[in-house]
Structure 1
Amino acid sequence: MMASSVERLCFVQKCILAPMVRVGTLPMRLLALDYGAHIVYCEELIDIKMAQCKRVVNDVLETVDFIAPDERVMFRTCSKEKDRVVFQMGTADPDRALAVAKLIENDVAAVDVNMGCPKEYSTKGGMGSALLSDPEKIEAILRTLVNGISKPVTCKIRILPTLEDTVNLVKRIERTGVAAIAVHGRMKEERQRHPVHCDYIQAVAESVSIPVIANGGSLDSVKTFDDIEKFRVATGASSVMLARAAMWNPSIFRQQGALSLETVMEEYIKYAVRYDNHPFNTKYCLCQMLRDRVESPFGKQLHAAQTVGEICEVFGMNEYYTKDHS
């Protein structure tokens, strides 16, 4: 049964944190929300792994954890993001997708299917951008989800080699009943160095009545908060989704302007400590923020850290770490 319009997440005029592998864990999502993002997507999580998870309420951290048989936390969320987090899954199977969606639907605001990731770990199982060449399977997965869960369903695609094929695919997707569609304005063969095709996103936005979320502008178009709206206008989209620009400095979502990287990294660490984020994941995200400074003496010091306590030490945050763990 469909949720009422009051409960459903709106995808119009929104600034959105894109799904990013290893980056879109809980600390980054909460930080993006603090800085002004309206909606945050978790990293792509594979249906086969999620289907084996057990839902556990973590009273100590005040989180809901989805724990794999080997005790790894596959997905962790909390009440602060419940109404604004979108769960993105990698799937190539309608029934398995539905099983996972039913497992997590009461803890998230919407469910998204990844149809744009060109990386082998996603495509080798027929997931991600591999789905773009199988529109029947796309329809089957999306219809099954739309009809089977109470939360909005969305998907994220890349553009196809021709404008006509891209528009035709998006029209088919719209007919499944999805609430919105995110479009990365590059083909699956293209990488970040290739310019984003704003004209394709614009054509898609003009061809459907559901919200279209523009993605892919981080390298060329979006350097500041004001650039987000410029990119939205240039693509004719309803909303904008940021990946790399937000990964480098999530305070790009701040209307008042970005904060210093030092401030942002310290705020990130506080969330990582508060929610017991894995130290390697914490270090990875901090290194992404450092970018070319990762080879500096400070960057090497961070890279050498093996625990959250050691990471805090690098940043002179020993007192915060000790206080949290007392």
Structure 2
Amino acid sequence: MAKFQGFEFWRKTLKEARYAVAPMVDQSELAWRLLSRRHGAQLCYTPMLHAQVFVRDANYRRENLYNEVCEEDRPLITQFCANDPEVFLQAALLAQDYCDAIDLNLGCPQMIAKRGHYGVFLQDEWELLEKMVSLANERLSVPITCKIRVFKEIEKTVRYAQMLEKAGCQLLTVHGRTKDQKGAMTGIASWEHIKAVRQAVNIPVFANGNIQHLGDVERCIQETGVQGVMSAEGNLHNPALFEGRSPPVWEMAEEYLEVVKRYPPCTLSYVRAHLFKLWHHTLQIHQDLREELAKVKTLEGLADVSKQLRLRCQVQTGNGTRGLSSHQGSEVKKKKTVCQKRALEDCDGTADTLSKNKQKKRSRNPNKNFCPDQKPKYIKCEQCGNPKGNKCVFNLCRGCCKKKAYKEVADCPSHGLRFKTKAEKRKAEEKEQVEKEQVEKEQVEKEQVEKEQVAISTTEMERRSSTPQPLHDSRRELQEQSKHQPLL
């Protein structure tokens, strides 16, 4: 049967899903997806999976997808990060029977994505992306989708989206932030970019960015005209976001822990991270339980800390303090003024303006400079744009240097690459081995010749001893005997 495409895929396979839980590394696992579906989510994505690891490691496949097959967890889209068309295709073929579509991550802006050269750091390589998407669209039995970030220019973003649509993308999720909008520079997502993309393509579009309440969802759909809205941070703080509720945080925490127990195994670090998000505002007040939550090593221990937090919140509620829901915790935060956001760090790097992490670094190295304006400017790699090695013989980053050194059989001491040295050493060892084998061969031949000569000598002596003596020799012997006989 031919696979569904575009709006037909959205209507029949995704059942016109409007509310989607974003693919989040180590945070959109099965238990969290099921919890979100209970509270209004209509579509979920797996965490971002690494295509190359997924292909080569059977344990990785089993732990991240195969053992999470659940009838309640549909529709489901599996997301991969990749930068090689063949590897991406192989991973997708291994995953297609366990989900409803395959998504290519073109939006991750983190440093790990920069080092691995995937996610948003592929957004300028249109030829490569076109090949990846088109190959997957031709060979897979399920649709291919993409999640992207925008360029600063709306026109370029529109052309980018149209290129992916032409290559075979059947659903496009647009995160309305640029590659540089992350961390302290996150800022507000541009719904204007998303609206322009929606008007320019003929496939379903999902919007991502600025979604913290159900009101944001409805307003986004109305302003941009998209088919659905995706939430990440808002969902982590309040899994009931798509229900339009802000239940007491302990309700969500206890329900999540109950789902985790019903659908094991679940990595403990995932559970801990979710509890930190759910209890975020409360933990700013109860610092002792924050430290305990970070230390406990069992699921029971995590549940016990969550229970203590619930009891403390209920005591505060009884004393007239509002119950702490996922969003209502901000009210307590304002009253207690325990965790006010610190000011932006100044160039002088005083202790009051530095984060705790940087204060620790300052204590270890008092001369360390934290001012962005005074940090050294790194020279870019000539091929990929990453910082190049300071003493690299090719003026490249380590990844590009390794490829070039391998291809040209060269050395780069700066990056610890010794391809030429190893090749020469291997050649010398091979030459030494050949010479050794030649000497051994000559020795064997010499011994063989000596054995043959000895055998010939032995044979000759045996032949002579067995041959009768000549007649004249017998007469000479008789004459000699007669000389010594006495006269009669």
- TM-score tier, shorter chain, comes to 0.7 to 0.9
**1:230 offset after TM fit, Å?**
1.1
Larger radius of gyration: 2
1:204 equivalenced with 2:197 (yes/no): yes
Structure 1 unmatched ranges of 5 or more = 56-64, 68-72, 318-326
Q: Using structure 2 for the length normalisation, give the TM-score.
A: 0.58
Residue from 206, 215, 220 that aligns with 1:213: 206
Matched, 1:303 2:294: yes
CA offsets 1:72-111 (integer angstroms, 9 cap, x no match) = x233422234531111100001111111111111111111
Structure ranking higher on relative contact order (CA contacts 8 Å, 6+ apart): 1
**C-alpha offsets along residues 289-326 of structure 1, whole Å, 9 cap, x if unaligned?**
22233342333332222111211222349xxxxxxxxx
In structure 1, how many angstroms separate the alpha carbons of the residues matched to 2:98 and 2:205? 24
Partner of 2:278: 289
Note if contact 1:82-1:107 (Cα within 8 Å) is conserved in structure 2: no
CA contact (8 A) 2:210 2:216 kept: no
1:234 to 204, 223, 228: 223
Partner secondary structure for residue 66 of structure 1: helix
Alpha-carbon distance in structure 1 between the residues aligned to 2:12 and 2:108: 26
Deviation (angstroms), 1:13: 5.0
Give the AA of the match of 1:74.
N
Matched with 2:456 is none
CA distance in 2, matches of 1:260, 1:135: 46
> Contact conserved, 1:84 with 1:109, CA < 8 A, in 2?
yes
Aligned equivalents of 2:71 and 2:290: distance in 1? 31
Higher helix content, 1 or 2: 2
The C-alpha deviation readout for 1:234-254, integer Å capped at 9, x for no partner, is: 222111000100011111121
Matched, 1:267 2:244: no
Between Structure 1 and Structure 2, the one with more strand by share is 1
Name the aligned partner's letter for residue 147 of structure 2.
K
Shift, 1:287, TM fit: 0.6
Q: Does 1:194 align with 2:198?
A: no
Contact kept, 8 Å, 2:103 with 2:146, in 1: the verdict is yes
Secondary structure of 2:138's aligned partner: helix
Amino acid of the structure 2 residue aligned with 1:250: P
Per the alignment, residue 105 of structure 1 pairs with 96
Q: Is residue 92 of structure 1 aligned with residue 80 of structure 2?
A: no
| Aligned length in residues | 298
Alignment pair present for 1:130 and 2:121 = yes
* Cα distance in 1 for residues equivalent to 2:227 and 2:302: 39
CA deviations 1:86-138 (Å, max 9, x no partner) are 11100001111111111111111111000011112122222100110101111
Aligned counterpart, 1:28: 32
Distance in structure 2 (CA, Å) of the matches to 1:140 and 1:156: 16
Identity fraction in percent? 26
* Distance in 2 separating the partners of 1:260 and 1:149: 43
* Partner Cα separation in structure 2 for residue 166 and residue 307 of structure 1: 46
Q: Which amino acid aligns with 1:96?
A: V
Counterparts of 1:52-201 in structure 2 under 5 Å? 52-54=56-58, 66-67=61-62, 73-75=63-65, 76-191=67-182, 193-201=186-194
Change (3 A) 1:264 1:39: same
The offset of 1:226, in angstroms, is 3.0
TM-score by length of structure 1 reads 0.85
Letter in 1 for 2:207: A
Q: Is the 8 A contact 2:34 2:73 kept in 1?
A: no
Structure 2: any 5+ residue segments left out of the alignment?
309-488
- Cα distance in 1, alignment partners of residues 258 and 38 from structure 2: 13
